[in-house]
A = this chain, B = another copy of it.
Amino acid sequence: MSPMRRDAEGTRRRILDVATIEFARHGIAGARVDRIAAAAGSNKAMIYAYYDSKDRLFDAVFDAVVVRNVNDVPIDADDLPEYAARLCEQYERYPEVVRLATWDRLERGGAGARTAVVVEASAHKVAEVVRVQAAGLVRPDLPAATLLGLIYAVAQGPSDSVDADRATGSTGRRDVVKDAVARLIRP
């Protein structure tokens, strides 16, 4: 790779890292491209040249976060309770995953969840759950996507007024989530 090419990749990477923090903190409408440019040592023109628009930049951020999540915590359909417990730890380590998904849903009705990368990641997870359902390891009476939805809901926790996290603490949360998912998937 030429040094110039390497520089360009470095710049793109830096923009993405900075944009991840900005979007996670302020959401899509609230994020400021000039703030991202300044923090990345770049400028608005270059960001738009690379990413076209603030919305496409958000998609790129969201895709990158999903890829990291899938790499760090690949689905383990043969042990969904442990998978959920690992997800819960991952969400604690990288709270921006849930924040970005939540902003996406609040501000765009979940458009980010329809990019090719995310759709493919979801399809793989669903296929894995279908497999263990067919094998009789997991209850077959719910669509695989619905089961996964329950698992993510439990791993992420509620956005309601009763704060479960404060009652249990983060060490306890792993066990609560693992036990909950074991109950939810039992045939």
Contacts and interface: CB of A to CB of B under 8 A. Distances in A.
Interface residues of A, number: 50
A161 B158 CA distance: 16
A161 B66 contact: yes
A102 interface: yes
Contact of A164 (B30, B118, B148, B167): B148
Contact of A145 (B103, B122, B153, B166): B166
Contact of A167 (B99, B145, B166, B167): B145
Interface in A159-186: 159-168, 172, 176, 180, 183-184, 186
Contacts of A99: 106
Contacts of A74: none
A10 interface: no
Q: How many copies of this chain sit in the oligomeric assembly?
A: 2
A162 B127 CA distance: 12
A142 interface: yes
B159 A101 contact: yes
Q: Nearest 5 pairs between A and B by C-beta?
A: A149-B164, A152-B158, A145-B167, A152-B160, A153-B158
14 contacts: A26-B29, A27-B106, A101-B159, A106-B106, A110-B163, A113-B160, A122-B162, A145-B162, A145-B168, A149-B158, A149-B163, A149-B167, A150-B154, A153-B154
Interface of A: 26-27, 29-30, 66, 98-99, 101-103, 105-107, 110, 113, 118, 121-122, 125-126, 142-146, 148-150, 152-154, 156-168, 172, 176, 180, 183-184, 186
